[in-house]
Structure formats: C-alpha cells, structure tokens
Structure 1
Amino acid sequence: MTGLPKLLMTIGVIIFIIGFAMKFINLGKLPGDIFIKKGNTTFYFPVVTSIVISIVLSAVLYLISRFR
C-alpha cells in the first residue's frame, strides 16, 4: 500500500488523535497561559498550550517521517 491510501490513513489517524485530545484533555486552560480581564476587555494568549501542541506535532511528524 503506497501513495494516496497510506497518506489518507495517516491524516485520518492524526485527525483522530487531535479530536481525542480536544475532547478529553483540557487544552486551552493550562497553567502558564496568559489571561487578562479588565472591564469589558479580555486578552488571552495560550503560551503553554502552544508549546504543548508544538511538541506533540513535532513528535507525530517525526514518527511519520521515521516510518516513511
């Protein structure tokens, strides 16, 4: 199995993992995320969430490239 079917299966697994993470893991409200609320203005910058997502994506892409 090469080419397009393998690519589609890999993308499907990645989408499944992302969906699972969004459903059961509380991403977006981790300690270290910047949240400032003053009056009617709210500022939210997910620093730690971005770092965690970056590490996970790097690991997944490394594994994909390793098995290619």
Structure 2
Amino acid sequence: MARALIIIGLAIAAIGLFWPWLARLGLGRLPGDIFIQRGNVSFYAPITTGILVSVVLSLVLWLLNR
C-alpha cells in the first residue's frame, strides 16, 4: 500500500511539472468537452478529455500488469 501511494504521489508531481507542455497538447479543449459561460457563472465538464485519459491510463496499467 505504501509503495502504491508513493508511485501515485510521484505521478501527480510529474504531471504538475509537465503541465505547461501538456496544456499545449489541447487536453481540456477537445470536441465533446462542455463549456458554458453566462455572466459571472461558468461551467466546464471535460467529458471527452476524461474518457481519453481513462482509456490511456487503462492501457498503461494493463501493459504494466502483463
């Protein structure tokens, strides 16, 4: 359990370090992501981005467990 928490923490830190480069890829602005802005209220639902990240993580974890 401790090893898994350390790996998850390192992964989050790596994502934080590489965020400026990841933002340039267009994640969060894919077709299917919902963004509504009216007045002072904005709503954002990254549906397509969430599905894409889920598929990629599932493939990576599947490959690691083989």
Summarize the alignment of residues 2-13 of structure 1 with structure 2, pairs less than 5 Å apart.
none
In 2, Cα distance between the equivalents of 1:23 and 1:39? 26
Q: Which runs of 5+ in 1 are unaligned?
A: none
1:49 corresponds in structure 2 to 49
Give 1:50's aligned amino acid.
Answer: G
1:23 Cα offset (Å): 5.1
> Which amino acid in 2 is paired with 1:39?
G
Q: Which runs of 5+ in 2 are unaligned?
A: none
TM-score, structure 2 length as denominator? 0.66
Q: Secondary structure at the match of 1:30?
A: coil
TM-score when scaled to structure 1?
A: 0.65
Aligned Cα root-mean-square deviation (Å): 2.5
Partner of 1:25: 25
